[in-house]
Amino acid sequence: DVAELMSGMTMDIILRTLFGQPDRGESVDAARATQVLSRSAMQEMFWPVTLPDWLPLPGKRAKRWALRTLRGLVTRRITQRRDAPADDAPHDDLLAMLLAVRDDETGRGLSAAELHDQCMVMFQAGHETSATALLWWAWLMARHPQAQRRARDEVQTLLGARAPQAADVAGLDGLSATLKEAMRLYPPIGALMSRRVVEPIRLGDWTLPAGAMLRITPALIHRDPRWFVQPDDFRPERFVEGAEAPPRGAWMPFGTGPRVCIGQHFAQLEMTLVAALLLQRYELRTVPGDAEPEPAFNVTLRPRRPLRLRLLRLPAP
């Protein structure tokens, strides 16, 4: 199950990045809780009225469990860090940075609520989207063995048997192109960017009044034949160095403009390193007889049914 594999992997990464040390039990529960909240948020978004969370309904019960799980994890980690002995070894993680930050004018640090909220945002946003992008990339690699072979050759030529480092990403142009093309076909956030019109605006034949809500849908924009030749085909060469770049706004898995995703560089680094590690060690294959995955909108664009792949271990380089 590729979704389970990638969710567990990116959850481990965000726990290491945010708190320094993962816990296997925490990773499993947190990944499951994030999925519950993703489904719940999507359902509530399109109802004119949202029912109170305290109602004894099955969906609300699952949502309460998910919120308790994530809030408890974050609170527990912050408390452990603050209660640590003064002579404890210094930590090199995002929590340590958040605890150290000070307001330039007042010298005060983050309040308990601010610290908790910052950790929750980083924790949720830094896991689910990367896992979604990687699961679609893995399926496309399995579906297109020649593209997989080219990406693996690039990885093995650059790295041999050693593990990739952050500095290696610049030399993995072809691999990065496969990830960008996967996010074009299956953007992790497929339809949730919205903006409110503050004054009347004309778009083609449409006049939009002030106050109208626009929902921008990358899953459709990315497949517009005006911007991409054969838009439904997997063609990583669109994104290699020297290829003609699409117009601004035609490819925006991280959004665009002043509110572009603040974590896009972390995500691209994380995904490229994970992809390189996988291609070093495994050949990805589809499972004979399995139907092609059907995308479904939650907060992220996930397969409607479990997506399975075969991972065949490769001989050591």
Segment (H or E) for 117: helix 112-125
- Separation between Cα atoms, residue 29 and residue 8, nearest integer Å: 10
- Separation between Cα atoms, residue 274 and residue 9, nearest integer Å: 9
* pLDDT score of 90: 81
Q: Are 136 and 307 a contacting pair, CB within 8 Å?
A: no
Low-confidence ranges of the chain (pLDDT < 70): 22, 46, 192, 317
CA angle centred on 11, ends 112 and 303, rounded to 5°: 125
- Separation between Cα atoms, residue 282 and residue 288, nearest integer Å: 18
End-to-end CA distance of the chain: 27
- pTM exceeds 0.85: yes
* pLDDT score of 317: 66
- Separation between Cα atoms, residue 138 and residue 143, nearest integer Å: 9
How far is residue 31 from each of residues 21, 61, 124, measured CA to CA in Å?
A: 16, 17, 9
* pLDDT score of 192: 66
- Separation between Cα atoms, residue 294 and residue 219, nearest integer Å: 13
* pLDDT score of 21: 77
Residue type, 122: M
Q: Are 51 and 57 a contacting pair, CB within 8 Å?
A: yes
* pLDDT score of 85: 82
* Residue 261 burial (C-beta neighbours within 10 Å; 0-12, 13-18, 19+): middle
